[in-house]
Amino acid sequence: MFVASVIVSSLLILATAFSGYGKLTGNPQVVEPLTAKLGVPRRFIPVLGSLLVAGALGTLAGIWWAPIGIAATGCFVLYFLGAVVTHVRAKDWAGVGPTGALLLLSAAALTLRLLSL
């Protein structure tokens, strides 16, 4: 179970670090949909990016120390649950799929990390 946990966690780390980097650097392809379609204020974009990068680092550390990994992936579940709700409220149906996939990936990483104890 631990090997599966590492594989799924690695996928989550890559996806969230890439997304966080895009938000922190102000990449227009990442920022514009958030501000235009979802109405997220620009001042929140660096905060969201920082949360994603911090969560990716916590998930990485959680490979070796389970409590931090469980906390990080649990926070990702909450983060992406909020993101899915935001997309649904804005009626951005195209954004629900990718965000929902990250929610499921986060839930899988959390579940597998708990089962690998």
Global confidence as pTM? 0.95
Alpha helix locations (H) across 1-92?
2-24, 28-36, 45-61, 66-89
pLDDT in tens, 75-98: 999 999 999 999 999 999 999 999
Q: Distance (Å, rounded) from C-alpha 65 to C-alpha 88?
A: 35
Q: Distance (Å, rounded) from C-alpha 46 to C-alpha 66?
A: 28
* Confidence band of 116 (pLDDT split at 50, 70, 90): very high
Q: Distance (Å, rounded) from C-alpha 117 to C-alpha 103?
A: 22
pLDDT at 22 (0 to 100): 97
Boundaries of every domain in the chain:
2-115
pLDDT in tens, 22-78: 999 999 999 999 999 999 999 999 999 999 999 999 999 999 999 999 999 999 999
List, in order, residues 6 or more apart from 82 with CB less than 8 Å away: none
